[in-house]
Every structure is written in C-alpha cells, then in structure tokens.
Amino acid sequence: MNVYEVFLKKPGRDEFRHAGSLEAPDPEMALMYARESYARRGEGAEMWLVDRADVLVADEADLAVNVDKPHRHNDGSLVAARRKDRREGAGSDE
C-alpha cells in the first residue's frame, strides 16, 4: 500500500487545502478511496492527490535556524512606536 496526501478545493477563490491522507494500493484506487474518505459529503469541488513518496521534505534543522529572528517579523509596530514617541516628545512642533 502507498500513502497519498489529499487536497480539496471548494468552489470559488479558496485555495487547495490539505484534507488528510489515505492508504491505497495504486493511484486509481487512491482516487476512489479519496472520494469516499474525504469528499463523500461534498466537501470539495476539486481534489488533488499526491503520492507521499513524491513529496520533497525539507530538513527541520534548516528551518529551525530561522525561528529566533524577530527582526524579520516586520509588522510595522517598531516604526509606529518610534513615530509616536517623536510626536509626543516634540510637543508644539506638531
């Protein structure tokens, strides 16, 4: 048996989303089982299956080095705080 990853897309502008995985002996039966396991209540209008053996998996250690880099989280809050300080400190200059 092979493992397949199942992706479903609802009608409209939503993207494909991972729905789950399943085991099947081959691609034809995988499509049949995916329909019965993940789409039997009309959960999606389109479905992708990917053989898990075809998924490229990144090294977790490579990803971990980027966990502690808050300066890359640019949500604008640092700039906003500095502008606020400037505004309040400058008083009548505003």
Partner 1 sequence: MTYSAAVRDYLLAFADDEHLVGARHTSWIGLGPFLEEDLAFCSIAQDELGHAIGLYGLLLADVGELDTFALLRASQDYRSCWLAEIECRDWNDSLVRHWLYDRAEALRWEALAASPDADIAALAARAQREESFHLAHADQFMSRVAANDTSGRIVDSIRRLAPVAAGIWDATAAESDVLAEGFVTDSSADLAARWNDQIRADIARWGLAAEWSDAGVVAAQQHRTQRSEGFDAFHDDLQRVLSLDTAATW
Residues that bind partner 1 (CB under 8 A): 1, 22-26, 28-29, 32-33, 35-37, 40
Nearer to partner 1, 35 or 84 (CB): 35
Q: Shortest gap between Cβ of 22 and partner 1 (angstroms)?
A: 5
Nearer to partner 1, 10 or 39 (CB): 39
Nearer to partner 1, 1 or 79 (CB): 1
Strand order in 46-51's β-sheet? 17-24, 2-9, 46-51
Nearer to partner 1, 1 or 78 (CB): 1
Q: How many CB atoms lie within 10 A of CB 43?
A: 13
Q: Shortest gap between Cβ of 36 and partner 1 (angstroms)?
A: 4
For 30, residues 6+ apart whose C-beta sits below 8 A from its C-beta are: 2, 4, 22, 24, 49
For 47, residues 6+ apart whose C-beta sits below 8 A from its C-beta are: 6, 7, 8, 9, 31, 34, 35, 38, 39
Q: Shortest gap between Cβ of 33 and partner 1 (angstroms)?
A: 4
